[in-house]
Structure 1
Amino acid sequence: MTASHLDPPATAKVVAGLGCRRGCAQDELLALLTHSLAQHELTVDNLAGLASIAHKRDEPALHELATCLKLELNFFPPDDLMPYQSANTASLLTRSTTGAPAVAEPCALALATRLGSNAQLLGLKKRSASATCALATFDREPA
């Protein structure tokens, strides 16, 4: 589960881990997500799911985005994200607000791990004024 700057193999699937400030607009999340995907020649059609931290369970923009994209939105408690935390992405502000050192990257890795195998971050997280987005790839488990 390491950061990768390579494009995902054709057989890999992609998920997005999202963090946002309270009151973030759905349009801002969508723009950040589509920009993040486009940097890897991907679109929202390549997404298998969205994830955020449980602290954001009541954030309307996350639910609006999931509904708009017809994707499942998964929430992870801080303790479930600990195996996916990196000292490189830790933020004291994020920890004090959510209980976890980082949100986007560990959420993406946690969901990718839940859905398949060989979870890896796809590059670095992207930021907008009020949101963060990290992409992770994974291989589907054989049926």
Structure 2
Amino acid sequence: MPHAHLQPALYAGFGCRRGCSVDELASLLQQSLACQGLPLAAVQGVASISLKADEPGLRLLAERLGVPLVLFDAALLQVFEPHLSHRSATAFAHCGCWGVAESCALALSERLQGSARLAVPRRATSRATLALACAV
């Protein structure tokens, strides 16, 4: 019997404006997965920057997906700067890292899988950014 193709685990990194709704975050995630033909079930974790610890939308999204929400300090995220597809001076001015979504996705994949590459580079709405990473 042939083995079903195993989908690699994906890790979602988010940046968002204060008060961004869980529905907007979920919609951005679903659209980003759909355009790559990736299943929602592949998402094994949600990450953001520690400044977003009190964002209810992020907490609700992780709960809805049944995955952990992991928060990273800006200093830890800085090491991923060479791997970013997009560098934002605005993000750097606000939170001390050049790209919240991509850096957080890469950081979570590296922490849980030991390696990381961007599977879906930064995508944005007016209120949120998302990137997806997986193990190399």
> Does the alignment reach a TM-score above 0.5?
yes
What is the 5 A alignment of 1:10-89?
10=6, 12-86=8-82, 88-89=85-86
How well do the aligned residues superpose, as a CA RMSD in angstroms? 1.7
1:112 alignment partner in structure 2: 109
Unaligned stretches of 5+ residues in structure 2? none
TM-score, normalization by structure 1: 0.85
SS of 2:135's equivalent in the other structure is strand
Instruction: State the structure with bigger RCO (CA 8 A, min sep 6), 1 or 2.
Output: 1
Unaligned stretches of 5+ residues in structure 1? 1-8
1:3 alignment partner in structure 2: none
Could you tell me how far apart the structure 2 residues matched to 1:104 and 1:43 are? 19
Instruction: Give the partner amino acid of 1:27.
Output: D
Number of residues paired by the alignment? 131
1:12 shift after superposition: 2.4
Please state if 1:131 is matched with 2:132: no
TM-score, normalization by structure 2: 0.89
Deviation readout 1:83-123 (Å, 9 max, x if unpaired): 11146522121112212121000100000000113311013
**Identity value in percent:** 39
